[in-house]
Amino acid sequence: MSPRRILLDAGNSSLKWAVVEGGTWLARGRSDYAELSVLEADLDARSECFVASVASQVNEEKLGALLDAAGCPAVWLKSEAAFDDVTNGYCDPAQLGVDRWMCLLAARARRRAAALVVSAGTAMTVDALSGDGSFLGGLIVPGMALMQRALQQGTAGGAAPGGAWQAFPRCTADAAYSGIIAALCGAIEAQYARLAAREGVSPACLITGGAAETLLPHLTVEVEHVPRLVLEGIERAAGVWSR
């Protein structure tokens, strides 16, 4: 019988989790680190627990204490030099964020072909995976909230909060918001073009993260939205630990 697994994606600003049993996804949840108690209902000492974390040390300690109290010792996953047919081309493979590595593993499981893997969270990462499963490298770009904050703090007049997308903005708030969207989409589309030129084919493009739905209407390349991509990668890695 397949084990019951608790998969935890500990991001910079929030925790996402899923419960999987026998290949069936039974539950999913999300919370910020001030409200971790909402996770308790899904914790079960009989379950295997796997964590991919890019959270701060303080938030990791909070999560670890909660898991220990529930009798759920966890495997804290790390980036590796290789997994199955995916190879990590980072100069120091261990330095690659484990969330990015999980996304690459999940993308490869979905598509055995060249793929651009985008995670639009606190920061946005845009990672290139070749047709043979080699991680070629990727970009890290400040996410929407970070860009907005930088404009507010770094310019004399500041950038008004809010704003809406406009092709030709005529107020500061709209100009800042539309510029942020254009910058993020431009990074994705530029890397897509580079990967297509290298591989000689149009790659798949997978996007996940909290800002994915905001960016989707503005992208000119074909994109698949996969909200649980990190969790899918954790589940793939967990299968090896459970053998």
Residues 35-77 have pLDDT tens digits of: 999 999 999 888 999 999 999 999 999 999 999 999 998 999 9
Give the pLDDT confidence score for residue 55 in this predicted structure: 96
Give the pLDDT confidence score for residue 48 in this predicted structure: 92
Residues in the chain, pLDDT under 70? 1-2, 157-160, 241-243
Using N-to-C axis directions, what is the helix angle for 144-154 and 172-199, rounded to 10°?
Answer: 130
Catalytic residue among 99, 127, 132, 174: 99
Give the pLDDT confidence score for residue 23 in this predicted structure: 84
With 0-12 / 13-18 / 19 or more C-beta atoms within 10 angstroms meaning exposed / middle / buried, residue 4 is: middle
pTM of the complete model: 0.94
- Assess whether the region 4-76 and the region 82-144+166-233 belong to the same CATH fold: yes
Look up 68 and say whether it is catalytic.
Answer: no
Instruction: Give the CATH class of 4-76.
Output: alpha beta
Q: Which residue has the tokens 């969330």?
A: 99
Pairing of strands 134-142, 86-88: parallel
Domain boundaries of the chain, sorted by first residue = 4-76, 82-144+166-233
- What is the chain's length? 243
Give the pLDDT confidence score for residue 22 in this predicted structure: 85
Pairing of strands 86-88, 82-83: antiparallel
Domain covering 82-144+166-233: architecture: 2-Layer Sandwich (3.30)
Tokens at residue 113, please?
């072909």
Task: Tell me the H-state helices in 70-217.
Answer: 98-110, 144-154, 172-199, 212-215
